[in-house]
Amino acid sequence: MKFRGEEHEKTLLAANNYAWGLLKLRRFEEVKTLMRKTMPVARRALGANNKLTLTMRWAYARALYMDPAATLDDLREAVTTLEDADQIGRRVLGGEHPDVAEIAGDLRLARAVLRSRKTPPPS
């Protein structure tokens, strides 16, 4: 991956694909570590409104809220990240794009997980 350089689009695409594979394996910590390293590079090299940058942020947010060990701060960050991704996706890809619909679905799920963790169980 280093052959083309860390800012090359193909390098970033490979990191993104790896992250989504790790998500399927439920290896959330590895996804978070990888995305924390590569998202700023993608944002700098490709821009915040680039589809690949958006997809990386989406993977990161999924890793945050799907992790059974997620803290309240993780869940809040997931919701904030997905709200931003939803807004960017609608503006850049259009509201009918399938990824935008999936991001919106993840946003609903992340909000539900956050609500359930914030609400104390009945005694």
Length of the chain as a residue count: 123
**Is the pLDDT reported for residue 3 higher than 60?**
no
Q: Which domains can be identified in the chain, with CATH numbers? A: 9-117 (1.25.40.10)
Percent of the chain having pLDDT more than 90? Answer: 88
**CA dist., res. 58 & res. 53, Å (int):** 9
Question: What is the tens place of the pLDDT at every residue in 19-50?
Answer: 999 999 999 999 999 999 999 999 999 999 99
pLDDT confidence bin for 8, thresholds 50/70/90: confident
Q: What average pLDDT does the chain have?
A: 94
- The predicted model scores a pTM of 0.91
**Is the pLDDT reported for residue 1 higher than 50?**
no
Question: What is the tens place of the pLDDT at every residue in 96-115?
Answer: 999 999 999 999 999 999 99
